């Protein structure tokens, strides 16, 4: 294989592996889909939800929910937010595949019958069989969802409130490509 073909192949492989290993920080396409949503709960009070896929760690899901809270705060014209409630949950899905160790498909059987003047042939199918032994493979997947309830504020963030976050600082530090790892 020539060097000219290897370079584009290496670039393509690197790009595809990056896509396969990274979670996407984006709006959810529909309810309970991967991505973020926000819901108004009252005046300046919102619920932010980030739903991760099975490749996304719990820490990353929590970071993406905080990042969305920061982005949303800035989009609404506010400077900082307080987190009044926070929880992360997981959902598990298991799939079991049964596979026989040996199986044979149905086999054709030809029957030929000859009389005094002619012969006739017919084809029937003998049933396949399974030797009765088999194996089961179970795969388990876990996906995380993080929920935040936030209140938006303007002005200077108070330094004594541990639940208060400066939206610009959070957005800068948690933006994908900086310190968040999937």
Residue 115 lies in a domain: no
Residue 88 lies in a domain: yes
Query: pLDDT (tens digit, 9 = 90+) per residue, 37-62?
Result: 999 999 999 999 999 999 999 999 99
User: Rounded distance, CA 113 to CA 166, Å?
Assistant: 91
Q: 65-69 contacts: CB < 8 A, separation 24 or more? A: 65/36, 65/146, 65/147, 65/148, 66/148, 66/165, 66/170, 66/174, 67/25, 67/170, 67/171, 67/174, 67/175, 67/180, 68/25, 68/36, 68/38, 69/148, 69/150, 69/165, 69/167, 69/170
User: Rounded distance, CA 48 to CA 37, Å?
Assistant: 6
Q: Is 25 helix (H, G, I), strand (E, B) or coil?
A: coil
Residue 180 lies in a domain: no
Residue 135 lies in a domain: no
Q: What percentage of residues in the chain have a pLDDT greater than 90?
A: 53
Q: Is the pTM of this model over 0.95?
A: no
Q: Is 172 helix (H, G, I), strand (E, B) or coil?
A: helix
Q: Is 9 helix (H, G, I), strand (E, B) or coil?
A: helix
Which structural domain, as residue segments, surrounds residue 54? 22-95+141-174
| pLDDT category of residue 101 using cuts at 50, 70 and 90 | low
Query: pLDDT (tens digit, 9 = 90+) per residue, 102-145?
Result: 666 777 877 777 777 777 777 777 776 666 666 778 888 999 99
Residue 150 lies in a domain: yes
User: Rounded distance, CA 34 to CA 68, Å?
Assistant: 13
Residue 29 lies in a domain: yes
Q: What is the pLDDT of residue 60?
A: 95
φ, ψ for residue 159 (rounded to 5)?
-80, -15
Residue 132 lies in a domain: no
* Number of domains within the chain: 1
Residue 158 lies in a domain: yes
**Letter string b/e over residues 96-108, b meaning 16 or more CB atoms within 10 A of that residue's CB:** eeeeeeeeeeeee
């Amino acid at each position: 294989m020539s060097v000219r073909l290897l370079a584009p192949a290496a670039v393509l492989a690197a790009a595809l592996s990056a896509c396969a290993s990274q979670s996407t920080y984006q709006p959810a396409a529909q309810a309970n889909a991967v991505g973020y949503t926000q819901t108004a709960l009252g005046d300046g009070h919102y619920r932010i939800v980030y739903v991760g896929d099975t490749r996304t760690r719990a820490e990353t899901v929590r970071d993406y929910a905080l990042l969305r809270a920061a982005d949303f705060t800035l989009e609404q014209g506010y400077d900082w937010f307080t987190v009044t409630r926070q929880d992360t949950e997981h959902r598990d899905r298991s799939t079991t595949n049964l596979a026989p160790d040996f199986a044979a498909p149905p086999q054709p059987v030809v029957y030929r019958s000859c009389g005094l003047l002619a012969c006739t042939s017919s084809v029937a199918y003998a049933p396949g069989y399974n030797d009765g032994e088999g194996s089961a493979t179970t795969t388990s997947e876990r996906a995380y969802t993080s929920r935040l309830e936030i209140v938006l504020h303007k002005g200077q963030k108070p330094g004594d409130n541990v639940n208060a976050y400066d939206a610009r600082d959070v957005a800068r530090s948690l933006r994908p490509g900086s310190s968040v790892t999937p």
